[in-house]
Amino acid sequence: MNLKQYFDEEPIGAIKEMAEYLGVTQSWMSLLIHERRKPSAALSKRIEDATQGLVTRRELRPDLFL
């Protein structure tokens, strides 16, 4: 599952909540969701933890995590 699919299933406000939890802006979250930017390795791991493994770090950064 990618971030876009994840947030399609989440309630309104989930992106803002996730951004606050991760310590990033909503704009940065939008760039990640639409795959215009890639998260760092550390942020990928934090997203994986925040989504309880539904969005994996391998999905976010296949170039770093095999």
Q: What is d(CA 27, CA 54) in angstroms, rounded to the nearest whole number?
A: 22
pLDDT, tens digit (0-9, with 9 covering 90-100), for 4-48: 999 999 999 999 999 999 999 999 999 999 999 999 999 999 999
pTM: 0.92
Average of per-residue pLDDT across 35-63? 97
